Amino acid sequence: MIELVLGGARSGKSRYAEQVANESGIPVIYIATAEAGDAEMQVRIEKHRQDRPEHWKTIEEPIKLADVIQQYSSSNSCLLVDCLTLWLTNILFDKQGKEQQSLFERESQALFKVLDVFSGQLVMVSNEVGLGIVPIDKMTRRFVDEVGLLHQKIVSYSDKVVLVTVGLPQILK
């Protein structure tokens, strides 16, 4: 079962995904993709760490998401990925904002290959960023485009898709 959970910033998507994982009744492996580039992001990461149950195993992997999913894939565990948009940022741009096209192509294709053969329970969290205005700069437009395309591709592998708005889950698929 592959489930994609989408929502805007502070929409409740992570809380919803954590509830789904917790209610699975099987051990949860939390795959965190965030990297703390500044103090504010470090605070966000710490809040997420504190909110998770202590008995969940946590894997922090900003780049090699497909490898981790493949390694921990099992019918005896629920994988929770939080979040795809941070992972996409990590593989699409380096720390200076320069594009990493070959890494992006390699890692995104690896993810799709893993999803194609995945068996078990996988819950993936991602930000819905395409509902606003068209960004003014090229880099942000590229990011929004790639997130939208990523979501469309992942939906084709997903058994369930949920959009969370103001803490309310809306089942799309």
Annotated catalytic, 55?
Answer: no
The helix/strand/coil state of 74 is coil
Amino acid at 14: S
Taken as a whole, the chain contains a residue count of 173
CB atoms within 10 A of CB 64: 15
CB atoms within 10 A of CB 59: 16
At which residue do the structure tokens 């192509």 appear? 105
Residues 100 and 93: their CA atoms lie apart, in Å, by 5
Bridge partners of residue 75, in order along the sequence: none
Question: Which among 48, 64, 106, 153 is annotated as catalytic?
Answer: 48
- Active-site residues, by number, are 48
